[in-house]
Amino acid sequence: MITITYVTITYNAEAVLQSTLDSVLCQDYPHIEHLIIDGASTDGTLLLVEEYVARSNAAAADGLPQEGGSEGHKVLVTSEPDGGIYDAMNKGLRSATGDYICFLNAGDTLPAADTVSRIVNSLNSTSAPAVLYGNTDIVDIEGRFLYHRRLQPPEHLSWKSFRQGMLVCHQAFYARTDFAIATPYDLRYRFSADVDWCIRVLKAAAKEKVPLFNLHMTVANYLQEGTTTRNHRDSLIERFHVMRRHYGLFTTLFMHLWFVIRSFIN
């Protein structure tokens, strides 16, 4: 059976973490590994995590389905100072043992209790793709739907697709773990290492001629106010450098000109 590893990065995330934990705990699919990589939080984050671990362990010990149906999700917690969110993500990569890995950060959620089972069931007739990808909805802090993410994944994704922007949200990008581990996050970037990481994973898949798989479903709810949103200008500058690195200066300048024109059209 396929195991899905979720990695949740936290640092003083008490205000937004509960919904993330609940959305994983309620999954009706049994083979889930949840790695919580905490940066030595000083608020109530770790109390929420301890309660989450206890709820998961109690259900497993009783041999009963967890809230929503799943049995014995494996939860592993690390709490120590780190070098920032991408350093923490690399810690998650080094600890992952599942077949696929997805980064579901504090505040982001799985849309429904059957999200993981639907993802896995869609692979029944498919050899192990390098990446599974799907759609994303934007929600507020109460989990209420706001709108569909403006950038949507193409029918056929490739590493060149990201010339048009990050068409697949990081939380909707499930990398096969062997590809993911071999492609750690580049710590030169503070805000856009996730974009660079996705492109490099897709490049590795293309080099090995391993297919990708469009799930044709919404697989993530993204909390509107994230770190990148709060640092929007710096993120855009850094993303320009990422794109220039992968696609060249001329292509990057041309695409950014198109982004400006598109913003006026829309």
Give pLDDT tens digits for 193-234.
Answer: 999 999 999 999 999 999 999 999 999 999 986 544 567 778
Euclidean distance between CA atoms 203 and 234, whole angstroms: 25
CB 105 within 8 A of CB 171: yes
Q: Is the pLDDT of residue 163 over 70?
A: yes
Cα of first residue to Cα of last residue in the chain, in angstroms, is 44
CB 134 within 8 A of CB 215: yes
The confidence score (pLDDT) of residue 262 equals: 56
Section 93-99 average pLDDT: 97
The confidence score (pLDDT) of residue 68 equals: 45
Euclidean distance between CA atoms 158 and 209, whole angstroms: 11
Q: 70 pLDDT band (50/70/90 cuts)?
A: very low
DSSP letters along 204-242, please?
A: HHHHHT--EEEEEEEEEEEESS-HHHHTHHHHHHHHHHH
Q: What percent of the chain has pLDDT over 70?
A: 88
Q: Is the pLDDT of residue 117 over 70?
A: yes
Section 61-77 average pLDDT: 65
**Domains identified in the chain and CATH numbers:** 4-227 (3.90.550.10)
**What mean pLDDT, rounded, does the chain reach?**
90
The half-sphere exposure of 166 on its side-chain side, counting CA atoms within 13 A, is: 21
Please name which of 78, 21, 31, 30 lies closest in space to residue 55, comparing C-alpha atoms. Answer: 21
Q: 179 pLDDT band (50/70/90 cuts)?
A: very high
The confidence score (pLDDT) of residue 244 equals: 93
Q: 69 pLDDT band (50/70/90 cuts)?
A: very low
Query: What is the phi/psi pair of residue 231, to 5°?
Result: -120, 50
Range with the poorest average pLDDT among 110-114, 175-179, 238-242: 238-242
Range with the poorest average pLDDT among 34-38, 123-127, 223-227, 249-253: 223-227
Please name which of 38, 161, 148 lies closest in space to residue 88, comparing C-alpha atoms. Answer: 38
Euclidean distance between CA atoms 243 and 195, whole angstroms: 9
